[in-house]
Amino acid sequence: MSDSKISASMMCANLVDLRETIRVFEEEKVEYLHIDVMDGEFVPNFGLGVDYIRGLRELTSIPLDLHLMIKNPEYKLQWIGIKETDIVSIHYESTYQVQRALDWLAPYGCKRYLAINPATPVYVLEEVLDYVDGINLLMVNPGFSGQKIVPSTLKKAEKLKKLLVEHGKENMTLEVDGNITPENGHKLREIGASIFVCGTSSVFKGGIGCYKENIERFRDAIR
């Protein structure tokens, strides 16, 4: 199993404390900054945009984990300024041309992930496993922070790991996103998850003075 990594959900960050938040994350060696890019169409919310991404890159060298919750992402990739160090997740449900979207992502040299919503069955992944580096399994319906985990997604994570093993992809990275508490993180780590999107349920719980302790507690849970 791959080493466990934290991807801090910047949607949950207080902009007033952004520089200090980044400093804490750098000191605690947080592996990724998770950026929810939302268009108000694929999901009922607007999220972090191109200017935010550009500004964040000026503040830190922590790699970005770009979660594109946008319709037809293949036509918008060039707007984002994707780097080779990034993870980029597109949604299976966001385009009729999933394989083409993944192909168009390839020239950027980033890690290509496919995200699936809670109600999307895992078998849809079978035909595109050769085009991706990882799967981003949504544990809540996308669009808003602070939601509770959809209970069936824990069993779904087990189904997904079984499918990956059956297709010789047992080493493919599994990222999990949505209500990732230390307790849920521990359960999902035992199933085989290795990247954990941490928001208000873990890293961002409480004020900035709590972040260091929150990170340490979460790392203990996913060892």
Residues belonging to the active site? 36, 177
* Residues shown for the chain: 223
Beta partners for 137? 116, 176
Nearest to 195 by CA among 62, 32, 49, 72: 32
Contact at 8 Å (CB) between 122 and 128?
no
Q: DSSP state, 122?
A: G
H or E element in which residue 36 lies: strand 32-38
| Pairing of β 173-177 and β 64-69 | unpaired
